[in-house]
Amino acid sequence: MNVLHRVMAHAQRDGWPAVTRKIIHKAAGKALERLSVNEPDLPVRTEDLQASANNAPHRQPHPVSGAMNVGWVCTPPGPGSGGHTTFFRMVQGMEERGHRCALFLYDRNSDDVSRHAAVIRKHWPLMEAEIRSVAEGFHGMDAIVASSWPTAYAAAAHGSRHLHSFYFIQDYEPYFYPRGTLYALAENSYRLGFTNIALGGMIGAVMKSELGMEPAASVPFACDTRTYRLLEGPEGAPTRHGVVYYAKRAVDRRGYLLAKLALEQFHAMHPDQEIHIYGDSITGWSIPVNNHGNLPPGDLNRLYNSTVAGLALSFTNISLVPEELLAAGNVPVLNESAFAAQVLKDPEVIWAPATPSGLAGALARAVEANDIQDRASRIAARRRLDWRVSTDAFAEVLESACSGNTILPGSP
C-alpha cells in the first residue's frame, strides 16, 4: 500500500483531523531532532546534582536562638500558585515572630531574579522577605528551608556546614513522574539529610510506605478562613447555581483530562447548570463553559458562594481547593483516595470513583439536593483550622531544631 492509500485508509478510519494532527506531529518531531532541542531536560542544574552529593547537610550545626536569618529556597512562582502561597505563609509566620527572612529563587535557566521579584511583590504583597538568587549563596543565613526536590539539591549544593537545613514537603513529589530518572531523583531528595517537615498526614504515610522513613515533624493542613467564608448580604445568601472547576492542564496529577470528560457527562445530565472554570482558560471543549482565568482570592470566594459544588481532583496530596470550597459553603467532589481521605474528613465531601461517570454522577447528586441553601450554611458553619495554627507549628519546629532541641516525629 503506497503512502496515499495509507493516508486515505487512516482518514476513513479516524477522520481527517486525526490525520492532520499525525502529520503535524511527525513533521514537528523531525524538525526538533534536527535542532536537538527535544533532548530530555532536568529541572535542576547538573552541577548542583553533583555538588549536593558532597555537600548534603549530614551535620550538626551550632545551636542558634533568638531572632534568626532564615533563607527560603523556591522556584520562581506564577500568579495563583498554591504551593508557593502555602510556602510564603510559612515565611510570613516567621517574619511575624521577629525572624529575618530572605527568598532565594532557583531558576535553572537564569540567575536574574528581577522579573520574578516583580511577580512576587504584586501577588504576595504582605511578605517582606528580601529576594535573591540561589547563585548568590546563603551568606549570613542561620537556616535554610527547601520547598521542592530541585530546590533541595540546590540548597544542599550551595549550603555550608554551619547552616540548619530544612525541607518543607507539601507533596510526595516522586509521584509527579513515571518510574525513572526524575522519580528517583525526587525520591532521593528526602534522603539528603535535611530536617523534613511535612504538610498534612498524607506525606508521612506515603514516605513510611515507600521509603521506610518518616518526616521529622508535620504541620496540619489548614484554610484561609478570613478570605473563604459564607457571604450574606442584606437579603441573605446569594442563590447558588452551577458548578466550579479549577483547571490545570499541564499538571496531570490534578486530573484535567478526567475532569473534562466528567464535566461533559455532567452537562449532558444537567444542561441547565452553568460550568465555571478558573485557573487556566480553556478552549475546544464540546460544552459551554464560563472561563474566569486566574482569580484573586476575594473574587474566587464569591464564585464559590454562587455555585453549588466544586470539582477538586488530585492524585497526590490534597490541594487547597476542597477546604476553601467548604469554608464558602460549597460541596467538594473529589476522586476517591485513601491518602487524601486521611487529611480531609468533612462529612459533606463527596468522594467518587475516578471515572467520568462516577464524578459526573457525584456532581449531579450535589446539584439535585433539595436543601442546597441550608446545606451551604451548615457546611460553612463548621469550625476550620486557620493557617495561623500551621504557621505557628512550623515556626516552633524551626526554632526548636535550631536551638538544639530534639524534634519528635509528628510534632508539634
Judge whether 145 and 70 are in contact, CB under 8 Å: yes
pLDDT of 58-114, one tens digit each? 567 888 989 999 999 999 999 889 899 999 999 999 999 999 999 999 999 999 999
Judge whether 398 and 363 are in contact, CB under 8 Å: no
pLDDT of 195-253, one tens digit each? 999 999 899 999 999 999 999 999 999 999 999 999 986 556 779 999 999 999 999 99
28 has a pLDDT exceeding 60: no
| Torsion angle (degrees, nearest 10) of CA 43, 46, 50, 53 | 0
CA-only gyration radius of the chain, Å: 24
393 has a pLDDT exceeding 50: yes
CA angle 250, 251, 252 (to 5 degrees): 105
In the structure grid, which three cell numbers stand for residue 250, read together? Answer: 499541564
Distance in angstroms (rounded) separating the CA atoms of residues 399 and 224: 24
Q: Specify the pLDDT at position 36.
A: 52
pTM to 2 decimal places:
0.86
Judge whether 210 and 172 are in contact, CB under 8 Å: yes
Residues of the chain with pLDDT > 90, as a percent, come to: 75
Give the H/E segment covering residue 18.
helix 16-35
